[in-house]
Structures are given as structure tokens and as C-alpha cells.
């Protein structure tokens, strides 16, 4: 199926979620022009029915549209969660991804993000098989460091600071994707250990670091990724030993 016809089916689905799927409503939602001839062609292909006023997807059409909507909204969620991309940017890329994203990759993104039920715009994400099977096995795959269980090992997947200016400062300390950390303390501050170094983190920083818990039975998973870091003052304060441990500096974050 060509992307234009896919856009029409996707628009029928989207309009049906919030109102009556009339031709006018579909034309207002679809980025491409939609005519009665288009609907007639898709009806002949068995994807929908059109009674002259409203458009209804057949089971065949629902299956196709559902996958398109799922891929689009998962792509949006990934671009928002990982790259903090604004609506215009993520919408453009998600529109491209929905036509090329294979189901296996969509399920991988879904699992990575912890099986989200809504996209950043609050619209429902149709669940996949992975949401029923893998969710029972692994639960949430990606969590902020602030939710990691005490004593657990995890690998940093991405950093999502509330303020973009903080991204460079956080990664300068060596807290970059691929780094394996161990949470040693949660209160009064978060204390982690990685690459032979201990560090105290402000709660707000712990919320900005997204990690994937590691299965300790897999030795290869605990091998740290190579990285470099610099010791600086600011959001963190370093210590060489537990006896000399100090609390994080309280600073006004931008």
C-alpha cells in the first residue's frame, strides 16, 4: 500500500477516536487530499466502507490503521522521551517512521519505553503482543534512576534533563549512555558507584537519568562501557571514600 492510502486509513482511525468519521472530518485530519474516489478505491480493496456520509474501517482496514497509529505514536514517544523533541519536530519524523517501522522494531521501542499506553499528546497507543507477554516478564524496562531499587546495577540509556543546558554538565561527569552504575544510597541524597568512582546526586538529577536494570546473572552485562569524566563542583560533589563522603552541593538549577 502506498503512503497516501495509509495516511487516509490512519486518518479514519484517528477521527473515529474522537467523533464521527465523516468525509469532511477525514479531509480535515489527513495531510493529503481525500476524495470520494479515494474512498471508493480503498473500499474495493476491502479496507473500508463508505455510505455517502460516514467512513468505517473493515477488519482488514482496522488492522492496517492500528499498526500505523501504533508506530506513529511509539515514534513520537521515543522522540519525546529520549530527545526531548518539540511537537513539530517529532510529528514530522513520526509521520515518516510510521510507513517504514516494522512491527518487530515497534515492539522493541515499546519494550524499551516500558510499554507506554499514551503518546506525549495523551492519545492512546494500541497495545502490541509485547505489552501482554514481555510486560509480565520484564516489567518496566526503562526507569529514572530515582526509581531504581537500592543495591541494584543498571546501565544508563539516556539523559533527559528538564533544562537542555544541564545536559552537557551532567554528561561531563561521565554519566553518559552505556555507563554501568550501582545505586548505593537513596537518602538524603542518591549515591552511585561507577567505574571505581562514587558520586552523590541531587534528586532532580536522579530523575533526569534513565536507566535499564541489569540482570546480575549475566556477567557480560556488568562490564562498564569505556568513558572519561572530569571532577567538577556544581550539581555533584566527589568523595574518595565512604569516610570522606560529602553531600551534594545545593545549587540553583537553571
- Which of 138, 161, 194 is the C-terminal boundary of a domain? 138
Mean pLDDT across the chain: 79
Angstrom CA distances, 126 to 13, 17, 70, 74, 129, stand at 11, 12, 5, 9, 10
Handedness of CA 166, 167, 168, 169 (dihedral sign): positive
Do 147 and 231 fall within a single domain? yes
**Pair (165, 229) in one structural domain:** yes
Res 221: pLDDT: 44
Let me know whether 171 and 132 are in one domain. no
pLDDT digits (tens, 9 = 90+) for 195-251: 888 989 888 888 888 888 886 554 444 444 443 333 333 333 333 333 333 343 333
Q: Which residues contact 248 (CB under 8 A, 6 or more apart)?
A: 189, 200, 201, 202, 235, 236, 237
What are the tens digits of pLDDT across the range 160-193? 766 656 666 677 778 877 789 999 999 889 999 9
252 or 163: which leads in pLDDT: 163
Domain boundary among 13, 42, 57: 57
Coil/strand/helix, residue 210: strand
Neighbour count for residue 51 (Cβ, 10 Å): 7
Does any domain span residue 252? Answer: no
Q: Any idea what the CATH number is for the domain that residue 200 is in?
A: 2.30.30.90
Residue 8 lies in a domain: yes
Whether 9 maps to a domain, the answer reads yes
79/24 same-domain check: no
In a domain, 218, yes or no: yes
Same domain for 19 and 90, yes or no, is: no
Average pLDDT of the residues in 12-18: 94
Domain boundary among 57, 72, 99: 57
**Phi, psi of 182, rounded to the nearest 5 degrees:** -125, 130
pLDDT score at 229: 35
Distance, CA of 246 to CA of 188 (rounded, Å)? 11
Q: Please tell me whether residues 86 and 130 are part of one structural domain.
A: yes
CATH number at residue 71: 1.10.10.10
| pLDDT-wise least confident of 13-17, 29-33, 81-85, 210-214 | 81-85
Indicate if 220 and 149 belong to the same structural domain. yes
Output the pLDDT for position 231: 35
Characterize the bridge pairing of strands 153-159 and 209-213. Answer: antiparallel
Query: Is residue 110 a part of any domain in this protein?
Result: yes
Q: Are residues 20 and 88 in the same domain?
A: no
Tally of CA atoms within 13 A in the half-sphere of 227 that contains its CB: 21
Range of the domain at 89: 64-138
pLDDT higher than 50, residue 29: yes
Same domain, yes or no: 230 and 147? yes
**167/194 same-domain check:** yes
Which pLDDT band holds residue 114 (cuts at 50, 70, 90)? confident
- pLDDT the model gives residue 181: 93
Q: Decide if 95 is inside a domain.
A: yes
Number of domains composing the chain: 3
In this structure, the answer to whether residues 118 and 150 fall within a common structural domain is no
- Please determine, for residue 136, whether its predicted confidence score (pLDDT) is greater than 50: no
Q: Report the percentage of the chain scoring pLDDT > 70.
A: 78
Q: Which of 47-56, 144-153, 174-183 has the lowest mean pLDDT?
A: 174-183
- Alpha carbons within 13 A on the beta-carbon side of 70: 23
Residue 105: its pLDDT value, please?
82
- 148 and 234 in a single domain? The answer is yes
82 occurs within a structural domain: yes
Is residue 249 situated within a structural domain?
A: no
Amino acid at each position: 500500500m502506498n503512503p497516501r492510502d495509509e495516511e487516509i486509513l490512519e486518518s479514519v482511525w484517528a477521527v473515529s477516536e474522537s467523533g464521527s468519521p465523516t468525509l469532511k472530518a477525514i479531509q480535515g485530519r489527513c495531510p493529503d487530499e481525500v476524495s470520494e474516489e479515494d474512498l471508493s478505491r480503498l473500499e474495493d480493496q476491502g479496507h473500508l466502507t463508505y455510505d455517502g456520509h460516514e467512513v468505517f474501517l473493515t477488519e482488514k482496514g482496522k488492522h492496517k490503521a492500528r499498526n500505523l497509529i501504533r508506530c506513529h505514536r511509539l515514534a513520537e514517544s521515543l522522540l519525546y522521551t529520549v530527545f526531548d523533541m518539540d511537537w513539530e519536530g517529532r510529528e514530522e519524523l513520526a509521520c515518516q517512521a510510521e510507513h517504514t517501522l516494522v512491527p518487530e522494531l515497534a515492539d522493541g521501542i515499546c519494550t524499551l519505553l516500558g510499554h507506554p499506553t499514551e503518546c506525549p499528546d495523551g492519545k492512546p497507543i494500541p497495545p502490541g503482543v509485547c505489552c501482554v507477554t514481555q510486560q509480565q516478564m520484564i516489567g518496566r524496562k526503562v526507569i529514572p534512576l530515582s526509581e531504581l531499587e537500592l543495591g541494584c546495577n543498571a546501565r544508563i540509556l539516556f539523559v533527559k534533563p528538564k533544562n537542555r543546558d544541564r545536559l552537557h554538565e551532567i554528561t561531563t561527569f561521565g554519566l553518559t549512555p552505556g555507563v554501568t552504575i550501582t545505586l548505593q544510597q537513596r537518602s538524603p541524597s542518591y549515591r552511585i558507584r561507577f567505574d571505581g568512582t562514587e558520586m552523590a546526586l541531587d534528586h532532580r538529577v536522579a530523575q533526569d537519568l534513565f536507566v535499564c536494570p541489569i540482570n546480575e546473572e549475566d556477567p557480560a552485562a556488568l562490564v562498564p562501557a569505556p568513558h572519561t569524566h572530569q571532577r567538577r563542583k556544581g550539581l555533584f560533589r566527589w568523595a574518595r571514600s565512604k569516610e570522606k563522603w560529602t553531600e551534594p552541593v545545593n545549587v540553583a538549577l537553571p
